[in-house]
Amino acid sequence: MFTRQQAEAHVLTMADWFGSDPEDGTFRAAVLRLLGIGRRKHLNDMTKVSGYPREFVKQCLAYLRAGRIWKGEDKLTYANWCDNDLAFVLDVMVAHGTLVKTYKP
């Protein structure tokens, strides 16, 4: 599991994608995405560990669940971005609401 400081440091290595402003929504969505690895995805827990405003975390959680990236409040995370920066970037765009992930029935 990442701490917030570790997640921010990792996101800074990807500044070409997310910038370097920790107050930016996309930067925060990337940090939140990393913080969710191996953690319970309950709104209160994610708000506490991130230190981000509750409404921001709530919206990111909703986007990630709608995109089937995070499932429920347990530790399940669908991620195929190990060693694939673009897949991570796409997940962050879903978390931020910039990209909508849809599924055919």
- Bridge partners of 77, per DSSP, are 70
Q: What pLDDT does residue 82 have?
A: 61
pLDDT band per the 50, 70, 90 thresholds, residue 11: very high
- The more confident residue out of 6 and 73 is 6
Count of domains for the chain:
1
Mean pLDDT of 32-48: 91
Is 103 a member of any domain?
no
Q: Which domain holds residue 88?
A: 4-96
Residue 76's pLDDT band (cuts 50, 70, 90): low
Whether residue 19 is contained in a domain is answered as yes
More confident residue, 105 or 51: 51
Query: Which positions ≥6 away from 55 have C-beta within 8 Å?
Result: none
Is the pLDDT confidence value at 104 over 70?
A: no
Decide if 18 contacts 26 (C-beta within 8 A).
yes
